[in-house]
């Protein structure tokens, strides 16, 4: 409450020492009432507010009207705590802590506790996003940009937005540059896991390529491929075009073959960019003990190191006599693996 008078004076009244002492004692004994509660803004005149109480999360030092468990407190030396509803939502000190408040009972969901937002007054276009810059001290700069993480849109179309994450790093002292990108298009999802016992290094080829296995089946179910040619011919649909680095490629064929003649042979080979890898006799020969006797066959071939470019891989078939047949149960398969 505000300070109140001890006596109201009237004109012509004699000032006694008793009345004067009472007025002064009232000021000395209730000086805090001159400041609390404030009835207007206070100008500190360039001075500081010091020696505050530490407070607590449930009753912080600085708190707004009507909300006594929300505000700022000081749980330890060189530490600032921010609370909401009596729970810590952030702590700044030797390290920074951001915490969700209040605690909930979820068990298998992600709780987003911090949002970094950047908007524009102009019409956004592809490439707009939000980023984080990281800096540290280098031999010639303090601070020095050491890395940056950016999240941006590759497509901003309403209802069909696609985004990507870029990791920017420095090379040879140059400005930060984009080194790694993780991009999502449609339902794409990439997962990277590691349980290393030592450092490992992966060197990616200097080429555009799809990681993993490029696979193409032969003809449609119910249709077999046949030839009476004694020279190799391309097997319809058993072709795969892959952009590789300067690496070797493992070619695998699996299928069921037969020949219309008994004791006749069906021969297979791979071609790389039109070059037969097995010569006149091919890479695999299957002899049938009886006419149209089905035989399973698997052919594996490792190419020499290829140039970094687009390459076409095919399976070819020929008969030494009769009719060579590639059956469809199961359908013949070509697998291309870049090593």
Output the furthest CA–CA distance in the chain (Å, rounded): 144
Indicate whether 245 and 319 sit together in one domain.
yes
Give the predicted TM-score (pTM) of the model: 0.56
The span from the CA of 175 to the CA of 173, in Å, is 7
The span from the CA of 325 to the CA of 28, in Å, is 113
pLDDT digits (tens, 9 = 90+) for 294-336: 888 899 999 999 998 999 999 999 999 999 999 888 888 899 8
Predicted confidence at residue 209, as pLDDT, reads: 58
Answer yes or no: is 58 within a domain.
yes
Answer yes or no: is 144 within a domain.
yes
Answer yes or no: is 9 within a domain.
yes
Tokens of 238: 């058993």
In three-state secondary structure terms, 34 is helix
- 315, containing H or E segment: strand 309-319
Answer yes or no: is 55 within a domain.
yes
- What's the total number of domains in the chain? 4
Answer yes or no: is 207 within a domain.
no
Indicate whether 296 and 238 sit together in one domain.
yes
Answer yes or no: is 115 within a domain.
no
pLDDT digits (tens, 9 = 90+) for 82-108: 999 999 999 999 999 898 877 788 888
The span from the CA of 327 to the CA of 266, in Å, is 12
- 28, containing H or E segment: helix 17-29
Predicted confidence at residue 193, as pLDDT, reads: 67
- 24, containing H or E segment: helix 17-29
Contact partners, residue 337, CB within 8 Å, separation at least 6: 213, 249, 250, 251, 252
Predicted confidence at residue 302, as pLDDT, reads: 95
* Last residue in a domain, options 183, 203, 223: 183
Indicate whether 229 and 323 sit together in one domain.
yes
Beta bridge partners of 310: 243
Indicate whether 58 and 174 sit together in one domain.
no
Indicate whether 68 and 157 sit together in one domain.
no
Beta bridge partners of 46: none
Indicate whether 160 and 253 sit together in one domain.
no
Answer yes or no: is 140 within a domain.
yes
Answer yes or no: is 273 within a domain.
yes
| Short-list 244, 239, 270, 258, CA closest to 322 | 258
Indicate whether 177 and 243 sit together in one domain.
no
- CATH code of the domain containing 232: 2.60.120.40
Q: Cis peptide before 135, with omega less than 30 degrees from 0?
A: no
Quickly state the pLDDT bin for 192 (edges 50, 70, 90).
low
Indicate whether 25 and 55 sit together in one domain.
no
> What range does the domain containing 16 cover?
1-39
């Amino acid at each position: 409450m505000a300070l109140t008078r001890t006596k109201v004076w009237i004109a012509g009244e004699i000032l006694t020492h008793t009345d004067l002492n009472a007025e002064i004692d009232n000021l000395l004994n209730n000086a805090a009432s001159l400041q609390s509660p404030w009835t207007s803004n206070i100008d500190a005149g360039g001075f500081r507010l010091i020696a505050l109480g530490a407070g607590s999360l449930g009753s912080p030092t600085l708190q707004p009207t009507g909300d006594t468990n929300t505000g700022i407190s000081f749980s330890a030396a060189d530490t600032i705590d921010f609370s909401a509803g009596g729970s810590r939502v952030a702590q700044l000190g030797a390290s920074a802590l951001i915490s969700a408040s209040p605690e909930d009972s979820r068990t298998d969901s992600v709780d987003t506790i911090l949002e970094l937002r950047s908007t524009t007054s102009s019409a956004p276009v592809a490439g707009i996003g939000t980023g984080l810059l990281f800096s540290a001290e280098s031999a010639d700069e303090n601070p020095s940009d050491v890395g940056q993480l950016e999240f941006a849109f590759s497509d901003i179309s309403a209802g069909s937005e696609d985004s990507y994450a870029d990791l920017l790093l420095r090379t040879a002292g140059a400005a930060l540059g984009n080194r790694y990108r993780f991009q999502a298009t449609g339902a794409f999802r990439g997962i990277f896991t590691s349980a290393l016992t030592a450092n490992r290094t992966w060197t990616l080829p200097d080429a555009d390529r799809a990681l993993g296995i490029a696979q193409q089946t032969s003809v449609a179910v119910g249709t077999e491929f046949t030839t009476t040619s004694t020279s190799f011919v391309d097997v319809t649909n058993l072709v795969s075009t892959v952009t590789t680095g300067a690496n070797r490629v493992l070619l695998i064929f699996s299928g069921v073959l037969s020949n219309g003649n008994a004791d006749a042979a069906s021969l297979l080979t791979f071609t790389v960019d039109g070059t037969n890898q097995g010569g006149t006799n091919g890479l695999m020969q299957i002899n049938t003990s009886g006419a149209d006797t089905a035989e399973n066959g698997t052919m594996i071939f490792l190419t020499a190191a290829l140039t970094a470019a687009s390459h076409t891989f095919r399976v070819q078939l020929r008969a030494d006599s009769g009719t060579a047949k590639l059956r469809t149960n199961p359908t013949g398969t070509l697998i291309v693996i870049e090593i």
